[in-house]
Chain A
Amino acid sequence: MSEIPAPTASEYVYEVRDVGKRYGSVVALEDVTLGVRAGEVVGLVGDNGAGKSTLVKILSGVHQSDSGTVLLDGREQLWKSTHQVIEAGIETLYQDNGLAPNLAVAANVFLGRELTVKGPLGRLGFLDKKKMDKLAHEDLEAAGIGVPASERSVSQLSGGQRQAVAIGRAVAWARKVIILDEPTNHLGARQANEVLDVIRAAKAKGLGVIFISHTLPHVLEVTDRIVVLRLGRLVRDAPTSEFDNESLLGTITGLIGAT
């Protein structure tokens, strides 16, 4: 920690440059460069095995890349843990959401950043459950999520409700960037539309949003820019206006060549 690298001029709030990742002999990601601006929604699409989830895990600090750099506000970062990434204001919603099934809604919203009571008991880690229940409820409401912060464990909620809690948690805590990996999974059409509204609200708040989805109409509807991955490589990075459903599908499957 002797020297903080000087920020390089960057239009992006969060970006990766030339990142690569292999698992044994399998190349999951190779020389991928992408960034998201504040108040921008970037769609990240690609077939299964294109490297989307690997990229998400590098962006969220679950994995470290083998090569390339990660920059936040133009400053190079060497994330060592998810904790650092979260502390930096970057929130991630994982596919098959990352909730603790046996904890209640409020406990999940505050997982990893619990509020403790005042005084010596607080230093021992004793929790201020009432305050967390209240704030979790307010946070979810503010994020546009209508699941009451009840005492029930989230495993007893429906898939849609769990997804809502996971999204609400991410939106409530994100200060800079929010990464949503398949947030409309398990959801019906109306609920999916509501998720898209949540994304628009996050954008309006000035957050950078990275939206990963297989549902191309959603991607076309809500994003400003679309990045297409194929077999671990970036094949297209262009404004959403340059795509339609057909050309996007063609780019993903490789029927339309990279530009």
Chain B
Amino acid sequence: MYWNQHRECLPREQLEEMQLARLKKVVERVYYNVPFYRQKFQERGLEPSDIKSLADLKNLPFTTKQDLRDNYPFGMFAAPMSEIVRVHASSGTTGKPTVVGYTRTDLNNWAEIMARSLTSGGTTKDSVIQIAFGYGLFTGGFGVHYGAERIGALVIPISGGNTERQIMIMKDFGTTVLACTPSYAIYLAETLEKMGIDRSELKLKYGIFGAEPWSEKMREEIEKRLNITAIDIYGLSEVIGPGVAIECQEKKGLHIFEDHFIPEIIDPVTGEVLPEGEKGELVFTTLTKEAFPVIRYRTRDLSVLTRKPCPCGRTHIKMAKVFGRTDDMLIIRGVNVFPSQVETAILEVAGVEPHYLLVVDRVGSLDELEIQVEVSPRMFSDQVKGLEDLERKIKHRVESILGISVRIRLVEPNTLPRSEGKACRIFDRRNI
């Protein structure tokens, strides 16, 4: 099942020719429009004309999440503001989000790759697709939405939450494709069972799941309990959002749409490009984006690339399901969470450098985040009211930064684990 067979099955030679032409253009675009890139290139004595082959990509500087943060909110935009028609945002490493922009052309390209992704995941013009990814600044909902509309499927833009209503609609509207996070899919399955709804009352055939890491074990469970084919979708807002890569029905790796993105795998420590087949950090260069192109963006996601021909016929390179992260980012209910964000919030509220621990648990199938904060003598007054106030303020601040609900638990000083003097910030009890 292809959306754009010509492009998705383009012979490698032609694909690489196209990539080089596009790479030259995007390098020119950032050089002349984004002071950050221009300065970085000049520091290395590079000019756009130095890109003569795809192999020259490795000479270009990396872009990091920190760079995006330093240029908050619109400093990385490479198109005039009047051409920007949409922004989305994801969590930054501290209080400020990372803002990404789209021109009309970008939205058009995004819809194209999402149409390819959804088609690969079983969606057709006749599908009824229930989009239970969040709509809003998060790219998930809108990304899937425009791809599904492009295909001409019937779109149910239900967004996340209100599970019983999701199920009622799934049943009454005859949903055939479900798009959401894998953990929410499991939660839906559990709720179905609880509500006593038999699987035969649903028309569900395919699920397209992403925005958080999930294992093969989880796939088996989802496929069994919902009796569907579950497909992994990959993306990140810094690159475009969902649709950077998608599994085909082989379910053995995700095809990266190489006419729009060039992936590399690097050694996260040295930054060296690693040969095909070696595990390392995924790095992306966008080839067609106008508003927010990125050059060698370090995703911090660990994966491996392979060019082995795929029985599905697509010629685009494949990445393995993401194994993990090179940093301490957590994904909770599809939302990126950095311990440093929590630290900033507590510091703002309590006025002291906190000792804290993020405890992530999967209760039923939903992720819960508890933040344990050591009460330091400076935070402690004789009053219970004062402590409850502190608890409430931290909760409020953290929730407004992260955008997910959390539980705060005050604990006694020196009770949180420390290793080699440095505090351990994360205790992930989820068995993903």
Q: Do A and B come from one complex?
A: no
Interface on A for B, CB 8 Å cutoff?
none
